[in-house]
Amino acid sequence: MKRLIYKSVMSEIQEFAGTGRFVLPLSQVGGVPLEACVGMDAKVERGQCIGRSDAPENAFFHSPAAGRVAALSTRVTYEGIAAATVEIEGDPSGAVETLQPIGQDIAELAAETIRERLREAGVSPLGGNGTNAVYASLRAEEDPPEMLMVLCADPEPLLQTQRHVLREAPEKVIEGATLLQKAVGAGRLVFAVSGDQKSLVSGETVEMGRRYPSGHPELLMARATGAYRLDDGRPRKDIYLINAETAMAACRAVREGMPVLDKTLTVGRDGDLAVVVRVPLGTPFSKVFGQMGLAVEDRDRVFTGGPLMGVAEFDPDAPVTKGTDGLFLQKAATLFGYEDAPCIGCGQCIKVCPMKIPVNMMTRNCEFGRIDEALAYDLESCIECGLCAYVCTSRRPLLQYIQFAKKEQEKAELARQSA
């Protein structure tokens, strides 16, 4: 069995730019969609606000390019919500319309000031599509979280994004994390790092192991707090979870007045080629692949996130969003298929499950919608790391069965509440 080891492959972050059309669904990780505040054919500056919302947990959206609004449309986002979408034709390399930098010491800054700035600059959780742990949205609550956790390494083997961001500017990540800690009122600040990153951060750390899924956010949070708080729901209420890139964006928003205009992501052809690039938000996937010399062809698979928890994409021209951490292409000839086959009881899934779930019995019940039985077999403990499906001898789509059952349970819960 191929073991899933985290490997660090460091290279320079490549900047991908180039004029063209940028498609910007106005949605954010963990938030509700925003409203467009520019009209058709309007001229926009790079860094100009194009989407806003009155909800306090929603950050604004800015144009990554100088140009004009070419279309206003609606797109179904990663989360499955229809979001207002602004399409901008223009150049992403010019000067940025920034906000006024704030130079004061963190101690002198009011939490409210930082929150307002982060909102204006579009600092919502970056990355997180396909981590199966929900990154927290900015919020000011009466009961602040006990801990702010910053993921400085990537949760999955193929991804290299966060470790590149941390190496690029560790001092900015640390300062941004401190700003965010103040903004949300978290008691402890904890950096989740891999062994080789310990020297880059200062303060409290929790170290992930060498093998997947030790970098899974749910497991890291449990290690940092000493408890699995599944009854809390997801995201956990006691931990504010973000990654290094979000911390860096927070630092730049406050100190340089820089809005979020681009996203760092690992791009590659699965297996032999992966580089870390920084692209303007809204760049179509096909263009990102094109700049690496990769062509997307019929029946290939394109997925965002990592190879175990990611999400397959049906549109090769879908845009890079604030949630995109990784973007990979698998050629049609290399794909494996799931099978509608019975469980043979080999027990491999039980051996790999990090949550000690009787996966064989749980998924048999999930498959046929027997939700109560699946719950009795610990469905709620599942963190959807995907290892069971990875090792399944019968090649059953176990993660799909689990996600299906969880959705069914949600529906039943809603029906019970409304009744």
Q: Which residues make up the interface to another protein (CB under 8 A)?
A: 1-2, 130, 222, 228-230, 270, 296-303, 305, 307-316, 328, 330, 332, 335-338, 341-348, 350, 354-358, 360-361, 378, 380-381, 386-387, 389-395, 397, 399-400, 403
Minimum CB separation from another protein for residue 62, in Å? 30
Q: Which amino acid is at 405?
A: A
Which residue number, 67 or 213, has a Cβ lying nearer to another protein? 213
Retrieve residue 132's tokens. Answer: 């199966």
**CB of 206 or CB of 296, closer to another protein:** 296
**Least distance from another protein to the Cβ atom of residue 301, Å:** 4
Nearer to another protein, 111 or 375 (CB): 375
Least separation in angstroms between CB 76 and another protein: 13
Looking at the Cβ atoms of 66 and 352, the one nearer to another protein is 352
Beta bridge partners of residue 145, listed in sequence order: none
CA angle (325 as vertex; 322, 329 as ends), nearest 5 = 120
Q: Which is nearer to another protein, 128 or 176 (CB)?
A: 128
Closer to another protein by Cβ: residue 12 or 340: 340
Q: Which is nearer to another protein, 170 or 397 (CB)?
A: 397
Instruction: Count H helices and E strands in the chain, helices first.
Output: 11, 17
Q: How far is the CB of 81 from another protein (least distance, A)?
A: 19
State which residue, 205 or 400, has the beta carbon closest to another protein.
400
Q: Helix or strand or coil: residue 84?
A: strand
For another protein, the closer CB: 205 or 381: 381
Please, are residues 354 and 219 in contact by the beta-carbon 8 Å criterion?
yes
Q: Long-range contacts for 398-404 (Cβ within 8 Å, ≥24 apart)?
A: 398/349, 398/359, 398/363, 400/338, 401/363, 401/366, 401/367, 402/362, 402/363, 402/366, 404/366, 404/369
Residue-by-residue DSSP string for 166-212:
HHH-HHHHHHHHHHHHHHHT-SEEEEEE-GGGGGG--SEEEE--SBT
The minimum distance between CB 397 and another protein, in angstroms, equals 6
C-alpha span between 107 and 349 (Å, rounded): 49
Q: 75: which strand partners?
A: 83
User: What distance in Å separates the CA atoms of residue 4 and residue 155, rounded to the nearest whole number?
Assistant: 11
Question: What is the rounded CA–CA span in Å between residue 337 and residue 328?
Answer: 17
Residues 6+ apart with CB under 8 A from 342: 394
For another protein, give the closer residue by CB, 254 or 382.
Answer: 382
Smallest gap from Cβ 193 to another protein, in A, equals: 22
Smallest distance, Å, CB 291 to another protein? Answer: 17
Minimum distance, C-beta of residue 304 to another protein, in the bound complex (Å): 10
Nearest residue to 111 (alpha-carbon basis) of 190, 188, 179, 53: 179
For residue 159, the minimal CB distance to another protein (Å) is 13
Q: How far is the CB of 12 from another protein (least distance, A)?
A: 27
Q: How far is the CB of 316 from another protein (least distance, A)?
A: 5
Nearer to another protein among residue 59 and residue 219 (C-beta): 219
Find residue 49's DSSP bridge partners.
Answer: 62
Contacts of 386-390 spanning 24+ positions with Cβ under 8 A: 386/308, 386/309, 387/4, 387/212, 387/213, 387/308, 387/349, 387/352, 387/353, 387/354, 388/348, 388/349, 388/352, 388/353, 388/359, 388/363, 389/338, 390/4, 390/308, 390/352
